[in-house]
Every structure is written in structure tokens, then in C-alpha cells.
Structure 1
Amino acid sequence: MVTDTEGYIHIIEYLTEHLSLFEHSNNAAQNSTSVMELIEIELSEQIIAVCSQNESLSFNERNAIIREVDAIVYDLEEILSGVINNPVTPEQASFIKEFAGLIKNLFDNVINSLQ
């Protein structure tokens, strides 16, 4: 659905161009949410929005979206493997929120092209 599109490749390239944001976690509070926890929270919120905005999606289409999100999370775990358990900094949180929005936009575009 989305992980095999050029748009997804561009989003992953965008992430890799900004990996330096994840190299230092100096500004993070020690009791802060981890990088992976925040990714999961933000992606979940965006995918819930996708599904609620597209009420006509079938059960199978919703399951396909969930499988795609699982694949995306797996890719992010691979790319950010060294820092996924680190506390998230404010700059990282901002980037993760933007990244999750880009993923939502990608799903919106693919769903709109299917209808």
C-alpha cells in the first residue's frame, strides 16, 4: 500500500537526512518518554485519524493499513536501533510529530487514489 511507494522512500530518506537529531540526547529529561514510545504514540494517533476520516474503508483495508504501520515501525526500529530506548528530546519530539504527519499524508494520498 504505502511502503512500496516512492513517497515512502522519500520519507525514509528525509529521516536519514535528519539522523543527526538523534545522535545526542543531552536535553532529554531522564524520565522522559523514549524515542520508540513517542514514535508509536504519534503514528497511532495519525493512523486513527486516517481511519476515522475514511469511514468507507473495509475491515480488510483497515487491517492492511495496520500491517503497513507495523512494517513502518519495523523500519524505524532498524534505522534508529541505537537510540530507540533513549529519552526523547524536544527537537526529536518535534521531528517525530512531523514525520508521523508525513506518514499520514502518504496514507491519505494512497487511499484517495484508490477511491
Structure 2
Amino acid sequence: MVTDKDGYAHLIQYLSENLGLFTNVGANPGENTVLELFEEQLAAQIIMICGQNPELSFSQRNTVIREIDAVVYDLEEVLGKMANQHATTEQIHFISEFSGLIKNLFDQEVSDMLKA
């Protein structure tokens, strides 16, 4: 669905290019870990997608959820140990931006799914 698209590969590359943001732990780390924030942000985005597309069938919603699980798995792989550190303000902003970009990919795929 999403993880096999060029846009997704570009986003993973974008994350890889910005790993320095996650290796340099700054001041004022937050309560949540990097991975927790990714999970929360992506969950919120998927809830929004499903809410914006009530015509999605149960099966289609499950496909979207399985795909977001694959995204989280990929994030864990790319981030490694950095996934478990507490997020800084800069990381929180990046995670929010990145999650929005992931949502954009899902928006397009869901739109295509509903047209089929």
C-alpha cells in the first residue's frame, strides 16, 4: 500500500538524512521517548484518515492499520537505540512534520483504494 511506494522510500531516506537530530540529544528532553511520539503521532494521523473516509470498509481499515504497523517497524529499524531516548523539543517538531508527511502518503493511497 504505502511502504512499497517511492514516496515512502524518500521519506525513510529523509529520516536517515536527519538522524543527526536524534543522535545529538539536546537539553530539555521530554517525557515520551522518540518511538512513543512516533506511535502517538501516527496513530492520530490514522484515526484522522479513517474519520475523513467513513466509506472505508472494515477490511480496508485493517489494511491501513497493518501498513502503519509496518511503518512503525521500519522506524524502529532506522532509529535503533535512539528510538528509546526521551525526545527533545527539536525531535518533537521533526516527528510531527514526518508524521504529517506519512499521512499525506496514506491520504493518496486511501483515495486510490476508494476509487478502485
- TM-score, normalised via structure 2 length: 0.94
**What's the CA shift string for 1:63-93, capped at 9, x where partnerless?**
0001001100000000001211101000100
Task: Give 1 or 2: higher helix fraction.
Answer: 2
Task: Report % sequence identity.
Answer: 51
Q: Tell me the SS of whatever aligns to 2:80.
A: coil
1:28: how far off? 3.4
* 1:1-115 equivalences in 2 (<5 Å): 1-29=1-29, 32-114=31-113, 115=115
Equivalences, count? 114
Q: Structure 2: where are the runs of 5+ without partners?
A: none
**One-letter amino acid of the counterpart of residue 36, structure 2:** E
Rounded Cα–Cα distance in structure 1 between residues aligned with 2:26 and 2:4: 35
Return the offset for 1:22.
Answer: 0.3
Distance in 2 between residues matched to 1:11 and 1:26, nearest whole Å: 24
Quick one: distance in 2 between partners of 1:42 and 1:89? 15
Structure 1 stretches of 5 or more lacking a match? none
In structure 2, how many angstroms separate the alpha carbons of the residues matched to 1:112 and 1:15? 25
C-alpha distance in structure 1 between counterparts of 2:28 and 2:36, whole Å:
14
Give the AA of the match of 2:28. A
Structure 1 distance, partners of 2:92, 2:16, is: 16
3-state SS, counterpart of residue 82 of structure 2:
coil
What does the per-residue CA deviation read over 1:24-60, in whole Å, with 9 as the maximum and x for residues that have no partner? 113133x621101101100000000000000110000
Please identify runs of 4+ aligned residues in structure 1 that moved more than 2 A. Answer: none
SS in 1 for 2:99: helix
* Equivalent-residue separation in structure 2 for 1:60 and 1:103 (angstroms): 21
